[in-house]
């Protein structure tokens, strides 16, 4: 068995702000059947420690960026969980990254440097008789780990950095080099210096043994100026060590309450009733998303008339940009029989929406992998997606050729504009008016392999190659 320590800032079911948590929570179980024994290292946020009860201390880290720290051992399902217990860094109200004022915690550089340093110490010393062969590092929060491994002269533990969203790069001012115990000689354009600042993400990209991201198309996109967000050059320099591995979803958690799409009717009517929408001739579309420009919700608002004019409806669950939220509220007020909004996030409601919706809309300007379109496929809720990132890799567009071949599972649109989205929504409604064709697409969608098995096998192969390479 290959021994891997997953180093992550969030993980379901303990702490979640986005898809990273779903991935980190699912991987240990998914990899267990592929010859990988994965344990997870997670910051000791208040909720995490509370959920672990009296988890025993298994490693004393001494002073770690401002106070005494230690590792506690708990459980993540059937897998081992290590919790970095450093109350001065993590025992706080509000979220893992932001305070109650919605701003980054000012000591985020130290908080996640501590996570990285703890991972490096576990790699050097092991815990009990267990020592990892590979550190699987997730996003910028784990990006400094390879630098600390160099400092500690740990040469026999390999590192894989997985980029879930390159928009977040872990920047800190240069004067923090000493405070973060970082070597000044690596603060260069060929190291972790980024426009005069420290970049934890760049540190991971440059110094990890391998780099991956969460879909093949996003891997290609990241090496372009349009999507690379300033990191395209350094990623291109690592092209031979850079791979795209699709995310999967937990099939036990995301199981449709019907065996085939014909069973959706009762759930559709229940969803309409819950959102206060009447029956309609067109499809009931759902959107479950952060209300942001990245997610294309502004484009959806602009394209709404195309859906409503065809008799379609829209139910939205999400929160985020106040301007987008206000525009959706206004649309719901203008079209009470066609648009409904719930602000916030409710996991159970998300399940009911995907079960009852006819289509799920994911008009993202960029999307590393995306999970909601995978949930839609699993439930026979046809995805309407922009042609980008993982959305391009997971949805088979209802082109003329795909429809003739009987393989279409949804709709893709390009370019990522309101006009193109409008055309896709008109096309969606036209397909909905052909019940036999629609049901065939929904059955195709439900038959797609959206679980973790294939992706877990790819990770396992990569870990094996890393630990057996000369």
Q: What is the pLDDT of residue 365?
A: 96
Which residues have a Cβ under 8 Å from the Cβ of 453 and sit 6 or more positions away?
30, 248
Q: Burial level of 100, CB count in 10 A (0-12/13-18/19+)?
A: exposed
Pairing outcome for strands 68-76 and 171-173:
unpaired
pLDDT at res. 470: 59
Distances (CA, A) of 285 to 297, 330, 340, 360, 432: 14, 18, 11, 6, 11
Confidence of residue 94 (pLDDT cuts 50, 70, 90): confident
Per-residue confidence band for 345, with pLDDT thresholds at 50, 70 and 90: confident
> 10 Å Cβ neighbour count for 326?
11
* Residue pLDDT, tens place only, 243-269: 999 999 989 889 999 999 999 999 999
Looking at residue 247, its pLDDT comes to 95
Helix (H) or strand (E) holding 51: helix 46-52
SS3 assignment, position 15: strand
| Predicted local distance difference test score (pLDDT) of residue 189 | 96
24-54 confidence digits (pLDDT tens): 999 999 999 999 999 999 999 999 999 999 9
- Please give the Cα distance from 386 to 378 (Å, whole number): 19
State the Cα torsion 274-278-282-284 to the nearest 10°.
Answer: -10
Name, in order, each residue with C-beta under 8 angstroms of 175's C-beta and a sequence gap of 6 or more. none
The pLDDT of residue 102 is above 90 = no
Contact 375, 254 (CB under 8 A): yes
- Position 6 scores a pLDDT of 98
Rounded to an integer, what distance in angstroms lies between the CA atom of residue 114 and that of residue 446?
A: 43
What are the residue ranges spanned by the domains of the chain? 2-248+452-468, 261-446
Identify the CA nearest to 161 among candidates 8, 274, 263. 8
**Mean pLDDT computed over every residue of the chain:** 96
Q: Which helix (H) or strand (E) holds 302?
A: helix 297-309
pLDDT band at 384 (very low <50, low <70, confident <90, very high): very high
Cβ(114)–Cβ(86) under 8 Å?
yes
What residues contact residue 115 under an 8 Å CB cut-off, 6+ apart?
A: 7, 9, 41, 43, 84, 141, 142
Sequence-distant (6+) residues with CB within 8 A of 135 are 4, 5, 7, 119, 123, 142, 145, 149, 157, 158, 159, 160
Strands 359-362 and 284-288: parallel
Run of H or E residues at 389: helix 389-394
Give the whole-angstrom CA distance, residue 324 versus residue 428.
24
pLDDT above 90 for 76:
yes
| pLDDT above 70 for 233 | yes
CA–CA distance, 60 with 318 (Å, rounded to integer) = 41
Q: Name the β-bridge partners of 73.
A: 82
Cα 167 to Cα 325: distance, rounded to the nearest angstrom: 22
Residue-by-residue DSSP string for 312-364: -EEEEEE-B-HHHHHHHHHHHHH-TTTEEEEES--HHHHHHHHHH-SEEEE--
Mean pLDDT, range 148-155, rounded to an integer = 97
Name the percent of the chain lying above pLDDT 90: 96
Q: What are phi and psi of 69, to 5 degrees?
A: -135, 155
pLDDT at 367 over 80: yes
Q: Residue 177: is it exposed, middle or buried by C-beta count within 10 angstroms (0-12/13-18/19+)?
A: middle
Over residues 273-291, the mean pLDDT reads 97
Q: How far apart are CA 195 and CA 214, in angstroms?
A: 26
User: Is 202 known to sit in a ligand binding site?
Assistant: no
Task: Write the class of the CATH domain 261-446.
Answer: alpha beta
Instruction: Tell whether domain 2-248+452-468 is in CATH 3.40.50.2000.
Output: yes
End-to-end CA distance of the chain: 19
Same fold, 2-248+452-468 and 261-446: yes
Other beta carbons less than 10 A from residue 192's beta carbon: 28
């Amino acid at each position: 068995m290959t021994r891997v320590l997953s180093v992550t800032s969030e993980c379901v079911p303990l702490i979640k702000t986005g898809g990273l948590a779903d991935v980190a929570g699912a991987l240990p179980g998914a990899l267990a059947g592929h010859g990988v024994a994965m344990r997870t290292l997670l910051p000791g946020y208040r909720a995490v420690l509370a959920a672990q009860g009296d988890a025993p201390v298994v490693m004393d880290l001494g002073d770690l960026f401002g106070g005494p720290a230690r590792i506690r051992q708990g459980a993540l399902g059937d897998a081992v969980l290590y919790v970095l217990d450093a109350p001065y860094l993590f025992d706080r109200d509000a979220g893992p990254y932001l305070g109650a004022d919605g701003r980054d915690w000012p000591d985020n550089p130290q908080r996640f440097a501590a996570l990285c340093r703890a991972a490096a110490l576990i790699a050097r010393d092991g815990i009990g008789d267990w020592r990892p062969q590979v550190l699987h590092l997730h996003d910028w929060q784990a990006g400094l780990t390879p630098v600390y491994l160099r400092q500690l002269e740990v040469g026999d533990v390999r590192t894989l950095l997985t980029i879930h969203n390159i928009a977040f790069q872990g920047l800190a001012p240069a004067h923090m080099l000493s405070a973060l115990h970082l070597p000044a000689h690596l603060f260069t354009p060929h190291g972790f210096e980024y426009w005069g600042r420290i970049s934890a993400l760049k540190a991971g990209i440059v110094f990890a043994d391998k780099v991956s991201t969460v879909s093949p198309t996003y891997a290609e996109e990241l090496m372009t100026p349009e999507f690379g967000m300033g990191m395209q050059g350094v990623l291109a320099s690592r092209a031979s060590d850079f791979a795209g591995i699709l995310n999967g979803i937990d099939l036990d958690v995301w199981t449709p309450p019907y065996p085939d799409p014909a069973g959706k009717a009762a759930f559709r009517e229940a969803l309409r009733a819950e959102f206060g929408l009447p029956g309609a001739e067109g499809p009931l579309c759902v959107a479950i998303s952060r209300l942001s420009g990245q997610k294309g919700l502004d484009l959806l608002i602009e394209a709404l008339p195309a859906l409503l004019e065809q008799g379609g409806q829209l139910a939205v669950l999400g929160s985020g940009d106040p301007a987008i939220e206000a525009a959706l509220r206004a649309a719901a007020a203008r079209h009470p029989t066609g648009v409904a909004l719930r602000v916030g996030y409710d996991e159970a409601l998300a399940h009911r929406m995907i079960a009852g919706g006819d289509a799920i809309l994911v008009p993202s300007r960029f999307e590393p992998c995306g999970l909601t379109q995978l949930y839609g496929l699993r439930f026979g809720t046809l995805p309407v997606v922009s042609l980008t990132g993982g959305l391009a890799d997971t949805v088979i567009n209802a082109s003329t050729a795909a429809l003739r071949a009987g393989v279409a599972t949804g709709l893709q649109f390009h370019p990522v504009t309101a006009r193109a989205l409008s055309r896709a929504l008109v096309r969606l409604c036209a397909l909905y008016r052909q019940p036999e064709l629609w049901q065939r697409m929904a059955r195709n969608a439900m038959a797609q392999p959206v679980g973790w098995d294939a992706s877990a096998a790819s990770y396992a192969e990569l870990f094996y190659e890393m630990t057996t390479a000369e």
